[in-house]
Amino acid sequence: MGERDQKVKIKQRLNALLLRNKKLQKSLKPTQEITMKRLQLNEIQLRNNYRLTEIKVKAMDEDIIRKGCPGVTL
C-alpha cells in the first residue's frame, strides 16, 4: 500500500505541474518562442509520466483486489 500511496502522490504532483505549465504558456509573450517550445516539450514529458503513473496505479489497484478478494473477477 505504501508504494501505491507514493505513486498517487506523484500523480497529483504531475497534475499540478501540468496545470502550472499551461498557465506559464498562456502568460508568455509571442516573442518568447524558445521558452514556448521548451514548455511544450516539458508538457509532453509530463503527460507521458502522468499516463505511466496512472497505468501503474491502476495495475496496483487490480493487484490489491486480486490478492485481497479472491472471489472477485475483473
Write the CB contacts of 60 (distance below 8 Å, at least 6 apart in sequence).
Answer: 3, 4, 7
Count of domains observed in the chain: 1
In a domain, 12, yes or no: yes
Question: Which is more confident, 69 or 63?
Answer: 63
Q: Is residue 73 part of a domain?
A: no
pLDDT at 71 over 80: no
What is the spatial distance between Cα 36 and Cα 30, in angstroms, rounded to a whole number?
9
Query: How confident is the model over 1-50, as pLDDT tens digits?
Result: 688 889 889 999 999 999 999 999 999 998 999 999 999 999 999 999 99
Per residue in 37-59, pLDDT tens? 999 999 999 999 999 999 999 99
Residue 26 counted as domain residue: yes
Residues 6+ apart with CB under 8 A from 8: 57
Q: How would residue 70 be classed by pLDDT, with cut points 50, 70 and 90?
A: low
Residue 74 belongs to a domain: no
Residue 37 lies in a domain: yes
Q: Which domain holds residue 33?
A: 2-68
- 62 lies in some domain: yes
What is the model's pTM? 0.77
